[in-house]
Amino acid sequence: MIALLLFLLLGTLLFWFIKHQYSYWNRRNFPCDPDTNIPCGCLTSVVKHEKSMGVALYDAYVKAKSPFIGIYLLFRPAVMIRDAELARQILIQDFTSFHDRGVYVDEKRDRMSCNLFSLRGQSWRTLRQKLTPTFSSSKLKAMFHTSDDIGDKMVEHLNKILPDEGRAEVDIKEILVTYAIDIIGSVIFGLDINSFEDPKNKFRCLVHQARRNNLINANIGMLIFLCPSIIKYLVRLGFKNKTAVGLREILKDTIEYREKHNIIRKDMLQLMMQLRNTGKIAEDDDNWSTKANTTTGEENEFTLDDIAAQGFIFYIAGQETTSSAAAFTIFELAQYPDLLARAQNEVQEVLARHNGQLSYDALQEMPFLDLCLQETNRKYPFPFLSRECTRDYTIPGTKHVIEKGTPIVVPLLGIHRDPQYFTNPMIYDPDRFSPSNPNYNANAYMPFGVGPRQCIALRMGKINSKLSLVKILQNFDVEVMSKREIIIDNHSVGIQPKGGVKVRLSKKEKPCY
Ligand code: HEM
């Protein structure tokens, strides 16, 4: 009897709490969706496992009309910024009121959660300053040969699986995921791996755990964004991210091996070891040493756990984005023969100018491929940017106040596919970005985010996507196919193509140069 009463009491309290939460925007006279679904708000389709979080937010964007709107992410009131100019105002000019993402981080008890993406306030600022030199163009240039090498291994692999004559269908996304994973394994974790030859290597198996399409991964991904406190409790109860723990072990072994044998390898791990040992990354581009000359008192502030935390987030943030940008570009070019021919000709001409040698500099001479990647990143962006309001903020020109602690969502997929910003948004048209005749609203274009928290590795992402495109266009013919759209899978936070990205390739009789 007591149990039943308790159950009824708890049920009533929960019902009251949810009802109260769901009246939040109405109580504030804030524009909001009148048909909000209790108890999951605009994420109902995600909870039912029908749509991905990115697509659910896209749907909410399309349904609404006002420049900003109060929404409910599960039972958390949040603000969706629909207007591109207002989004920029928040992300750039008014950054001091929105400097955090509000995702899970626990600086005191879980060092492995302290990555650049999650950290808040001054901790984020300090780390960002320290890590920024890692991604300078000169450092990336020094690491270029590693990516180039992995690109060659991808070509070797494709040559093995394609017939000598005729075409075959390949899932180009999966191939490019392997390429991107190996770049991260090599450049960031300092490993010498070839997942094309040895797909069961330890690193690839580990990171595949985090990519697996299952309900647990999908929900944890969502909870990190929406309910950081639930993740905090799970961690305190002993929940461990096995991938992150495994990656830490790999890094520990590699660092010890390098230090024992005095090995200097020009990669990001070397720079992070330098940061750990000397307190900063050297401005001198030729200095990759990890030996501390002076005692700055800062040496131990950046620890092995910090290196592992950054390595893990670089993997998460870099692998899917880089491979998607290249895969979706090939997929789109295959549907537009004129664009495909222009891309192929550009690769041919530039390689001819450089005696067939693909270098960092040669890559910079391919402006049409840049336009293609710009257009791909428009049509297939990471679906949303997130921030947390860090002090009460009055929306300019209105009386509406966003309270401190409220999550902010900028629905990039919606904005990037909105005809008011990009005419015929579903048409793949790289020339809309032509510098001499641009045809788009520049405020609305933010595939790498904008403001102080924009992607720290945008140069690296662009170079590695472009490099893989060149390798494919240089060595293979892409069969033209009829117009079609990617179907976005219902799991994951970003744009996961259902069934992969299938294109038909054939070996070129003679690789262009
Ligand atoms: C085509 C490739 C890429 C795309 C489209 C992309 C996109 C993005 C976006 C949209 C954000 C959020 C920005 C914001 O909130 O304003 C971001 C942040 C970030 N990205 Fe990338 N990214 C790419 C490649 C990479 C790579 C290769 C790495 C690492 C090796 C990386 C590391 C990060 C990190 C650490 C952040 C958080 C930055 C901070 O909060 O200070 N990204 N990226």
What pLDDT digit, counting tens, does each position of 334-375 carry? 999 999 999 999 999 999 999 999 999 999 999 999 999 999
Atom of ligand 1 nearest to the CA of 188: 30
Distance CA 324, CA 175 (A): 11
Query: Pocket of ligand 1, candidates 88, 125, 247, 455: which has the most ligand atoms within 8 Å of its Cβ, to mutate?
Result: 455
Rounded to the nearest angstrom, the distance between the alpha carbon of 104 and the centre of ligand 1 is 17
Whole-number Cα distances in Å, 113 to 106, 127, 230: 6, 13, 14
Which of 139-143, 155-159, 280-284, 468-472 is the least confident region? 280-284
Q: Determine the pLDDT at residue 499.
A: 94
Question: Taking residues 11-39, what's their average pLDDT?
Answer: 87
**DSSP H stretches of helix in 334-366:** 337-353, 360-363
Name 315's Cβ contacts closer than 8 Å, sequence gap at least 6: 181, 184, 188, 207, 210, 247
Question: Taking residues 146-156, what's their average pLDDT?
Answer: 97
Atom of ligand 1 nearest to the CA of 91: 16
Q: Determine the pLDDT at residue 293.
A: 58
Contact 496, 214 (CB under 8 A): no
Atom of ligand 1 nearest to the CA of 377: 5
Banded pLDDT at 511 (limits 50, 70, 90): confident
Nearest alpha-carbon partner for 153 in 178, 170, 174: 178
Cβ-in-10-Å burial (0-12, 13-18, 19+) of 229 comes to exposed
% of the chain at pLDDT higher than 70: 96
pLDDT greater at residue 423 or residue 192: 423
Ligand-binding annotation for 512, yes or no, is: no
Which residue's alpha carbon is at the smallest distance from atom 26 of ligand 1? Answer: 318
Atom of ligand 1 nearest to the CA of 373: 1
Residue 1 has pLDDT above 80, yes or no: no
Please write the tens of the pLDDT for every residue from 287-311.
888 877 555 544 458 899 999 999 9
Rounded to the nearest angstrom, the distance between the alpha carbon of 501 and the centre of ligand 1 is 22
Which residue's alpha carbon is at the smallest distance from atom 20 of ligand 1? Answer: 455
Please write the tens of the pLDDT for every residue from 470-482.
999 999 999 999 9
Rounded to the nearest angstrom, the distance between the alpha carbon of 187 and the centre of ligand 1 is 16
Which residue's alpha carbon is at the smallest distance from atom 10 of ligand 1? Answer: 448
Rounded to the nearest angstrom, the distance between the alpha carbon of 316 and the centre of ligand 1 is 9
DSSP assignment string, 105-158: -BTTTBGGG--TTT--HHHHHHHHHHHGGGG-HHHHHHHHHHHHHHHHHHHHHH
Pocket-forming residues, ligand 1, beta carbon under 6 Å: 116-117, 128, 313-314, 317-318, 321-322, 325, 377, 382, 385, 447-449, 453-457, 460-461, 465
Question: Taking residues 234-249, what's their average pLDDT?
Answer: 87
Which of 34-48, 157-171, 495-509 is the least confident region? 34-48
For 453, list phi and psi in degrees, rounded to 5.
-100, 20
Q: What is the mean pLDDT of the chain?
A: 92
Q: Determine the pLDDT at residue 215.
A: 66
Q: Determine the pLDDT at residue 213.
A: 62
Return the CA Rg of the chain: 24
pLDDT greater at residue 296 or residue 493: 493
Query: Pocket of ligand 1, candidates 448, 454, 466: which has the most ligand atoms within 8 Å of its Cβ, to mutate?
Result: 448
Rounded to the nearest angstrom, the distance between the alpha carbon of 456 and the centre of ligand 1 is 6
Q: Determine the pLDDT at residue 297.
A: 47
Atom of ligand 1 nearest to the CA of 412: 10
Residue 459 has pLDDT above 90, yes or no: yes
Which CATH architecture best describes the domain 5-507? Orthogonal Bundle (1.10)
Please write the tens of the pLDDT for every residue from 419-443.
999 999 999 999 999 999 999 999 9
Specify which residues 507 forms β-bridges with. 476
Rounded to the nearest angstrom, the distance between the alpha carbon of 447 and the centre of ligand 1 is 9
pLDDT greater at residue 414 or residue 22: 414
Which residue's alpha carbon is at the smallest distance from atom 21 of ligand 1? Answer: 455
Whole-number Cα distances in Å, 321 to 299, 318, 377: 33, 6, 9
Rounded to the nearest angstrom, the distance between the alpha carbon of 452 and the centre of ligand 1 is 12
Residue 211 has pLDDT above 60, yes or no: yes
Q: Determine the pLDDT at residue 33.
A: 83
Rounded to the nearest angstrom, the distance between the alpha carbon of 124 and the centre of ligand 1 is 14
Residue 196 has pLDDT above 90, yes or no: yes
Q: What are the sequence ranges of the domains in the chain? A: 5-507
Distance CA 320, CA 464 (A): 12
Q: Determine the pLDDT at residue 284.
A: 81
Atom of ligand 1 nearest to the CA of 325: 1
Which residue's alpha carbon is at the smallest distance from atom 16 of ligand 1? Answer: 449
Amino acid type, 34: P
3-state helix, strand, coil in the chain (%, to 5): 55, 10, 40
Pairing of strands 407-410, 76-81: parallel
Contact 290, 302 (CB under 8 A): no
Residue 68 has pLDDT above 80, yes or no: yes
Neighbours of 153 (CB within 10 A): 18
Which residue's alpha carbon is at the smallest distance from atom 36 of ligand 1? Answer: 455
Give Dmax over CA atoms of the chain in angstroms: 86
Which of 11-25, 71-85, 293-307, 487-501 is the least confident region? 293-307
Rounded to the nearest angstrom, the distance between the alpha carbon of 2 and the centre of ligand 1 is 53
Name 464's Cβ contacts closer than 8 Å, sequence gap at least 6: 147, 180, 183, 322
pLDDT greater at residue 233 or residue 380: 380
Which residue's alpha carbon is at the smallest distance from atom 25 of ligand 1? Answer: 318
Q: Determine the pLDDT at residue 5.
A: 83
Contact 178, 196 (CB under 8 A): yes
Contact 419, 400 (CB under 8 A): no
Atom of ligand 1 nearest to the CA of 382: 10
Rounded to the nearest angstrom, the distance between the alpha carbon of 317 and the centre of ligand 1 is 6
